[in-house]
């Protein structure tokens, strides 16, 4: 029997068997603050406090407040407690989020002392933030002069969020979504950009920020959500003692009003900035959006999810098929699907790569498909398969991208913040049972299509077209606005701007007394890392490795093929082979038949290639192709049959399908640049340091984006298309003749049955030996500037280093955190205004990389990279920053994944020679790193003449990049 703290009343408690948790709901008696506790036998405890934040403009007040609140509080009046605690912690997750209608502060840790430390800091940061005006200037926006301290130079905007949103809004999908919301939600908070529109952010005043904080960051407006094995009463004791006891109930109720409904559909056209001089044909987005019911209504949400799944889930789904095969555009819109993250559900579909004169045809095509579903319905088998996918998603124990407990919390967060039923949203089984009964009525899905879409008048058609002059007009408008403001400044006001910049710089370099912050030390680190054991089945000619894991009724299976030596042409086609293997026809089945088959027996099925250097020599490489799938336990025999047929009987004669797939991948890759520019820049800078780094850049990096654009254009020629299909078929022949092994992950009691099924279904004879995979050694210097349509920059500098087993690898790994914490964070983020920056050793490619993310600067950042090394070598350093960097590395090494994820990660690490013994040895070396080691490896490896440079930037920076001696490459 769970007991609440006296300051709280318990409202209800319910076990959820499918998640293996018990959900408990409490209310704080004095303030009304809600506490949802998800009790679980899991020592990775998670905390999140969410505030309902409902902005009424696009100044980014909620987003800027999220940043500023973490810059010092009543109990911890230091400048940067959030980033300080990241360094003093063994957290497995630590962040803050701003959504469209809530702001959340989550963290997770497996260490009880660490959890309590972080809880103390988070509670004080959220409810007793200092909100220093200089922090608002740093994190939000401020005026400054282009030449520091010179009032005669141009006036400019600066600020971390200002630059972050310039980067975010360089992404066309982001612009598409924000523009769509402006019309789908004409009157409530979703009409505005909660992250902040760069044109509106400078309108926010410090006083407005303070007022927003006073009303929105109050316990009466808060939801506490926790997960793990710490009892609710113990957590509530800390909530009460450290925060809630100081508050009374707030009379103001903050909520999102229901949106007014349109009486007839509307059609709008807007523009987005395109590169000057580029061909604008075929670059328009045409999307339709419907506003549906409330996300707090579980049954309505599941019905909408079912309809969206039926229409869009896979290439055989009627609407997805129409969008993929349409000649009216290049690919389905990246927004396609159901958005359930806001108070009211939104269904979106459409095309990218279209033209404005095709908008009527696109709309008619979409409505025709929906009309057909409303009239003819959907086969019961397909409906049942869609519900099985919902059940699998409900049952799967996640935690690979972020902690499983946080995954559950985030699932319930939207409903909770809108005062819905979080327990109902997590306990889907009763609602799914009702849907299983409903779909037996042939009229059910027809009625949903008609009610939710065809007869729903709140529909928006947005045509977002490219405009090659828009970026220039926006830039000119900003310049003119700043010039006008400067012209009206008095001498005193100009001097005030100079003094603010000086004060901010002084604040950024001041050394705070961080001893007031709690911390963990090396003594709190577990003696050894967690290890997932396996069992190999020796009697089979084909190796089979089993892992017993708590998968909650799911089974994970993989076929791993050791790739042999490939020709240069085959290498270029290799990544496409992996991506397309599960997207094509099998035997006498078309790809549409196969998509339906997959939906019935698999939660997912995919293939991918892995190319890695040896742990002791990155010039020696190994490559594998992995066919990976998962399913509910009842589907295991069908899953095995599907996987085997996919591997052996895939066909490459569906050339129209291949052309569609290439077009879709191209669209996704081109959209990825502004969200992933730092990783792409680092990959480019490292491309000359090892064969695996080079091939990764060529296949999946910036060079890969170039290649797929060329391939997509070439496939318009039928002969080229046939040749491409032939190349894929040739690689397939190589794959079938290569050695393979199997991986099985499931609950312990099911392993024997699954193993027997695999032995019966998957032949075990091994192919003959073939020449091992290899790539030519490489060692060359890179100096490149990649030009694309972005308002911000991504900078990277890389140095050739050593692989994992080298004695210096541990010191280089610790050095990354040491430079980030001690120099780069301050120089690049705080002073430079970039959203992020840092350094890291990648022992898989033997490269040490320094980087910046969404950065307003270029040359200055590259200089900061060099100066961070000078700082390391010229200064005397204390032990604590070293300890903090070691803690960060160990925390990363020890970070848990899902049970199935840990099994798969362990298997593949060992497949590439990263054995338990080697990883334990590396971990021990990390713990023994000294300051002298850091200086030694920096002197040895981070030499200026060995540095490679790659930046991702916009067209306006070309002359500047040429002056730096960088090769200009148009993406």
Measured CA to CA, the distance from residue 266 to residue 289 in angstroms comes to 10
Average pLDDT for 501-508: 91
Average pLDDT for 322-349: 95
Which among 227, 127, 904 has a CA at the least distance from the CA of 534?
Answer: 904
Does 584 lie in the same domain as 697? yes
Measured CA to CA, the distance from residue 618 to residue 601 in angstroms comes to 39
Cβ atoms of 406 and 48 closer than 8 Å: yes
pLDDT of residue 770: 77
Higher pLDDT, 539 or 223: 223
Higher pLDDT, 777 or 539: 777
pLDDT of residue 391: 84
pLDDT of residue 541: 64
Let me know if residue 769 belongs to a domain: no
Does 293 lie in the same domain as 158? no
Let me know if residue 774 belongs to a domain: no
pLDDT of residue 392: 86
Let me know if residue 203 belongs to a domain: yes
Q: Which residues contact 689 (CB under 8 A, 6 or more apart)?
A: 618, 778, 779, 798, 800, 845, 846, 847, 948
Measured CA to CA, the distance from residue 452 to residue 438 in angstroms comes to 16
Higher pLDDT, 275 or 345: 345
Q: Which residues pair with 339 in a beta bridge?
A: 346
Which among 660, 516, 671 has a CA at the least distance from the CA of 580?
Answer: 660
Domain boundary among 726, 761, 796: 761
DSSP strand E in 264-417: where?
266-273, 284-294, 331-332, 337-339, 344-354
Out of 186-200, 463-477, 528-542, 799-813, pick the least confident: 528-542
Let me know if residue 3 belongs to a domain: no
pLDDT of residue 928: 96
Split into its structural domains, the chain has a count of: 4
Does 683 lie in the same domain as 605? yes
Q: Which residues contact 85 (CB under 8 A, 6 or more apart)?
A: 91, 94, 117, 118, 121, 517
Let me know if residue 811 belongs to a domain: yes
Cβ atoms of 385 and 436 closer than 8 Å: no
**pLDDT higher than threshold 80 for residue 101:** yes
pLDDT of residue 764: 64
Measured CA to CA, the distance from residue 353 to residue 332 in angstroms comes to 9
**Environment class of residue 633 by beta-carbon count within 10 Å: exposed (0-12), middle (13-18) or buried (19+)?**
middle
Which among 590, 567, 570, 589 has a CA at the least distance from the CA of 578?
Answer: 570
Out of 108-112, 525-529, 957-961, pick the least confident: 525-529
pLDDT of residue 422: 86
Does 551 lie in the same domain as 443? no
Q: What is the DSSP letter of 197?
A: -
Does 570 lie in the same domain as 495? no
Does 171 lie in the same domain as 75? yes
pLDDT of residue 543: 84
Grade residue 531 by pLDDT with cuts at 50, 70 and 90: confident
Domain boundary among 701, 728, 761: 761
Question: Packing angle between helix 702-714 and helix 568-580, nearest 10 degrees?
Answer: 80
Cβ atoms of 426 and 393 closer than 8 Å: no
Q: Which residues pair with 109 in a beta bridge?
A: 45
Average pLDDT for 360-379: 97
Grade residue 395 by pLDDT with cuts at 50, 70 and 90: confident
Let me know if residue 529 belongs to a domain: no
**pLDDT higher than threshold 90 for residue 486:** yes
**pLDDT higher than threshold 70 for residue 322:** yes
Out of 274-283, 349-358, 629-638, pick the least confident: 274-283
Average pLDDT for 234-253: 96
H helices of 463-590, in order, are: 470-487, 491-509, 568-580
Higher pLDDT, 279 or 410: 410
Which among 581, 744, 571, 541 has a CA at the least distance from the CA of 661?
Answer: 581
pLDDT of residue 577: 95
Contacts within 8 Å (CB) and 24+ apart, 306-309: 306/383, 306/386, 306/387, 306/390, 306/435, 306/439, 306/445, 306/448, 307/347, 307/445, 307/448, 307/449, 307/452, 307/453, 308/337, 308/338, 308/347, 309/386, 309/389, 309/390
Burial 176-186 (b: 16+ CB within 10 A, else e): bbbbbbbbbbb
pLDDT tens, position by position, 924-965: 999 999 999 999 999 999 999 999 999 999 998 998 999 999
Let me know if residue 479 belongs to a domain: no
pLDDT of residue 539: 59
Token pair in block for residue 249: 């109930």
Give how far Cα 914 sits from Cα of 549, 621, 805, 892, Å.
Answer: 21, 13, 9, 16
Q: What is the average pLDDT score of the chain?
A: 93
Does 728 lie in the same domain as 607? yes
Let me know if residue 812 belongs to a domain: yes
Does 322 lie in the same domain as 393? yes
- The predicted model scores a pTM of 0.91
Grade residue 383 by pLDDT with cuts at 50, 70 and 90: very high
Cβ atoms of 319 and 372 closer than 8 Å: no
CATH number of the CATH domain containing 880: 3.30.830.10
Does 108 lie in the same domain as 190? yes
Cβ atoms of 484 and 131 closer than 8 Å: no
Does 99 lie in the same domain as 246? yes
Does 455 lie in the same domain as 496? no
Measured CA to CA, the distance from residue 386 to residue 596 in angstroms comes to 10
| Structural domain span for residue 912 | 783-970
Does 243 lie in the same domain as 276? no
């Amino acid at each position: 029997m769970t007991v609440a703290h006296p300051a709280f009343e318990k409202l209800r408690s319910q076990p959820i068997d499918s998640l293996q948790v018990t959900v408990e709901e409490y209310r704080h008696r004095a303030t009304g603050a809600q506490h949802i506790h998800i009790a679980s036998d899991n020592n990775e405890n998670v905390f999140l406090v969410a505030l309902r934040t409902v902005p009424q403009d696009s100044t980014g007040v909620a987003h800027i407040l999220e940043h500023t609140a973490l810059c010092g509080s009543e109990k911890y009046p230091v400048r940067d407690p959030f980033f300080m605690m990241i360094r003093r912690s063994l957290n497995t997750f630590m962040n803050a989020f701003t959504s469209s209608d809530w702001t959340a502060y989550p963290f997770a840790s497996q260490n009880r002392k660490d959890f309590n430390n972080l809880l103390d800091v988070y509670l004080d940061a959220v409810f007793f933030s200092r909100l220093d005006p200089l922090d608002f200037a740093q994190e939000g926006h401020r005026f400054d002069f282009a030449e520091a301290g010179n009032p005669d130079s141009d006036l400019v905007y600066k600020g971390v969020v200002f630059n972050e949103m310039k980067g975010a809004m360089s992404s066309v999908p982001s612009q598409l979504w924000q523009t769509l919301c402006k019309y789908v939600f004409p009157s409530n908070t979703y009409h505005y950009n909660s992250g902040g529109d760069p044109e509106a952010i400078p309108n926010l005043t410090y006083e407005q920020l303070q007022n927003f904080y006073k009303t929105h960051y109050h316990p009466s407006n808060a939801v506490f959500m926790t997960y793990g094995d710490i009892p609710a009463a113990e957590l509530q004791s800390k909530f009460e003692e450290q925060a809630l006891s100081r508050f009374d109930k707030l009379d103001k109720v903050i909520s999102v009003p229901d949106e007014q409904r349109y009486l007839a559909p509307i059609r709008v056209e807007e523009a987005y900035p395109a590169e000057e001089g580029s061909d604008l044909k075929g670059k328009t987005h045409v999307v339709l959006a419907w506003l549906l019911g409330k996300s707090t209504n579980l049954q309505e949400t599941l019905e909408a999810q079912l309809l969206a799944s039926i229409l869009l889930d896979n290439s055989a789904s009627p609407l997805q098929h129409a969008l993929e095969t349409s000649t009216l555009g290049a690919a389905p819109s990246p927004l396609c699907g159901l958005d359930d993250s806001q108070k009211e559900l939104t269904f979106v579909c459409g095309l990218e790569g279209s033209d404005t004169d095709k908008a009527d045809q696109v709309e008619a095509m979409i409505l025709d498909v929906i009309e057909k579903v409303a009239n003819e319905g959907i086969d019961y088998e397909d409906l049942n398969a869609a519900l099985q996918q919902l059940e699998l998603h409900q049952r799967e124990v996640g935690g690979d991208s972020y902690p499983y407990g946080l995954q559950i919390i985030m699932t319930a967060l939207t409903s909770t913040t809108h005062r819905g039923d979080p327990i109902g949203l997590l306990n889907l089984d009763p609602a799914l049972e009702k849907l299983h009964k409903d779909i037996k009525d042939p009229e059910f899905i027809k009625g949903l299509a008609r009610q939710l879409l065809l007869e729903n008048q709140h529909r928006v058609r947005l045509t977002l077209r490219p405009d090659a002059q828009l970026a220039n007009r926006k830039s000119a408008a900003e310049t003119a606005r700043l010039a006008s403001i400067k012209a009206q400044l008095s001498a005193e006001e100009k001097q005030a701007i100079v003094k603010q910049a000086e004060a901010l710089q002084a604040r950024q370099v001041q050394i705070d007394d961080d001893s007031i912050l709690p911390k963990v030390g090396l003594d709190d680190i577990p003696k050894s890392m967690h290890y997932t054991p396996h069992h190999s089945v020796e009697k089979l000619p084909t190796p089979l490795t089993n892992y017993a894991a708590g998968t909650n009724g799911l089974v994970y299976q993989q076929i791993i093929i050791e790739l042999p030596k490939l020709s240069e042409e085959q290498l270029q086609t290799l990544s496409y082979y992996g991506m397309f293997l599960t997207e094509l026809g099998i035997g006498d089945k078309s790809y549409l038949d196969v998509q339906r088959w997959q939906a019935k027996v698999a939660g997912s099925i995919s293939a991918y290639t892995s190319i890695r250097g040896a742990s002791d020599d990155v010039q020696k490489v190994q490559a594998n192709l992995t066919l990976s799938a998962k399913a509910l336990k009842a589907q295991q025999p069908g899953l095995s049959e599907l996987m085997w047929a996919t591997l052996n009987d895939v066909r490459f004669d569906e050339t129209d399908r291949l052309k569609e797939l290439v077009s879709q991948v191209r669209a996704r890759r081109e959209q990825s640049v502004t969200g992933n520019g730092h990783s792409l820049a680092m990959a480019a800078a490292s491309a000359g340091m090892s064969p695996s780094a080079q091939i990764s850049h060529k296949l999946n990096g910036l060079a890969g984006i170039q290649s797929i654009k060329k391939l997509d254009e070439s496939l318009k020629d039928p002969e080229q298309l046939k040749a491409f299909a032939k190349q894929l078929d040739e690689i397939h022949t190589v794959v079938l003749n290569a050695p393979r092994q199997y991986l099985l992950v499931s609950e312990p009691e099911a392993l024997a049955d699954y193993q027997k099924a695999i032995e019966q279904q998957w032949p075990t004879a091994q192919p003959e030996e073939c020449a091992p995979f290899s790539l030519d050694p490489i060692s060359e210097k890179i100096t490149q500037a990649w030009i694309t349509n972005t308002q911000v920059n991504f900078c990277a500098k890389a140095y050739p280093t050593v692989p994992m087993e080298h004695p210096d690898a541990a010191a280089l790994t610790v050095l990354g955190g040491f430079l980030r914490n001690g120099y780069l964070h301050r120089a690049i983020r705080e002073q430079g205004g970039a959203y992020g920056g840092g350094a890291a050793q990648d022992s898989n490619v033997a490269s040490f990389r320094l980087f910046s993310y969404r950065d307003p600067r270029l040359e200055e950042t590259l200089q900061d990279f060099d100066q961070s090394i000078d700082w390391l070598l010229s200064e005397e350093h204390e032990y604590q920053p070293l300890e903090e960097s070691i803690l960060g590395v160990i925390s990363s090494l020890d970070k848990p994944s899902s049970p199935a994820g840990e099994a798969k990660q362990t298997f593949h690490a060992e497949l590439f020679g990263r054995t338990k013994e080697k990883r334990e040895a590396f971990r021990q070396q990390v713990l023994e790193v000294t300051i002298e080691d850091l200086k030694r490896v920096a002197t040895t490896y981070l030499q200026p003449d060995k540095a490679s440079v790659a930046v991702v930037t916009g067209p306006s920076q070309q002359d500047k990049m040429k002056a730096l001696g960088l090769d200009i490459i148009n993406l």
